[in-house]
Amino acid sequence: MLSTIIFVALFLGLLIVSFVLWMAFLRLGLRWAKVEGVTTRRLVVATMLVFVVQAVLRILSHVLLPSTGSRAALGGFAVLVAAVLLPCLIIARIFKSRFVRSLQAWLPTLVPSIAMVSLGLFVVRPYLVEAFYSPGNAMAPTLLGSHYRGLCPECGGPSIVCAPPYPTRGGSHGPQPTICRHFHMSSSADYGLRLFGPDRVLVAKYLAPRRWDLVVFRSPRDPSTLYVKRVVGLPGEQIHLDQGAAWADGRKLTPPESIRGITYVSEPSYAGRKMWGSLDNPARLAADEYFVLGDFSANSEDSRFWAEGAPDHHPFAVPASYVCGVVTHIYWPPQRWRILR
């Protein structure tokens, strides 16, 4: 709840500052363009309408535009044009000025816009909070990447079906790994054709990881790649998995209620594969290392299977310096909204 209060306060504070600055620079622009009839009421109305339009454009681009490809580039260009034209049309309408003068009045408002973007890039994002999306389904059903939906063959409830990387021969998809909200893991070829997008989350940079937190971290093997997993082992502990449960220093760990049904795979899926954290190969963490696991245990490449680690660290470990932040909220899509910490 504390993280929610902090995020709401931060969002409202930045919104109010942005609103006041935008209105002040719009007044300067209107004076520069020699537009008459400028009143505080008209400035407030114009600024409110512009902010509403900008919010709608962000939501539409978020929902409708693909993330890559020529359509994404074309759509992004269209959004950019609309982000310039619509505020100018609003200014022209509210202050009864010609479009050229409204464009001139709008130009100074780029100053607070650039200032707020700079604040976000150089202060908020590195030190406070950053948005992130789930790159895959290793954390399903808690966090979802691109996926299909089907029915769990074990309990009959809805299940998450991993999106295959490519179609099989004939254009259809073969059996894919599935997991339901009760953490029943299986494989199925019976699922819908609609592809659902990934969850988008907020990551708090100022929080220290605790056991069972979801953390975003740089890959120990490739620090340019970001992953999200659940912290199971804390610095200094010896971790092993047995009978579907995680153990720390010989003590069986009890997961929180939200993941009480989770089962961790404690044996490699095929012979000859080395696994960290097994009974005969426990993982002893150093004073600045974490052991992380995916909730979709049968479909997760995590601390159990890493063959190469960060310099001067165990292969199975995420160094504390590689942790980017703690996942606190799922904010998109709206029906998936959830507080995680």
- Bridge-based pairing state of the strands 200-204 and 323-332: antiparallel
For residues 244 and 119, membership in a common domain is answered with no
pLDDT of residue 48: 97
Query: Residues 183, 115: one domain?
Result: no
Structure tokens at 33: 């363009």
Same domain, 120 and 151: no
Q: What is the pLDDT of residues 318-340, one digit of tens each?
A: 999 999 999 999 998 989 999 99
Range of the domain at 327: 200-339
Model confidence pLDDT, tens digit, residues 55-77:
998 888 777 666 566 776 787 78
Give, rounded to a whole angstrom, the gap between the first and last alpha carbons of the chain.
7
In terms of Cβ atoms closer than 10 Å to its own Cβ (0-12, 13-18, 19+), residue 306 is: buried
Contacts of 271 (CB under 8 A, 6+ apart): none
Do 114 and 216 sit in the same domain of this protein?
no
Same domain, 60 and 171: no
CB atoms within 10 A of CB 131: 12
Which residue stretches of the chain have pLDDT < 50?
A: 167-171
Q: CATH number, domain at 230?
A: 2.10.109.10
Q: What single DSSP character describes residue 226?
A: E
Question: Among positive and negative, which fits the CA dihedral 113, 58, 336, 122?
Answer: negative
276 and 157 in a common domain: no
What does the block give as tokens for 209?
């990881």
Q: What is the pTM of this model?
A: 0.85
Q: Are residues 223 and 264 in the same domain?
A: yes
Residues 20 and 64 reside in one and the same domain: yes
Position 66 scores a pLDDT of: 62
What pLDDT score was predicted for residue 169?
44
Co-location of 209 and 334 in the same domain: yes
Q: Is 225 exposed, middle or buried (0-12, 13-18, 19+ CB in 10 A)?
A: exposed
* Structural domains of the chain, count: 3
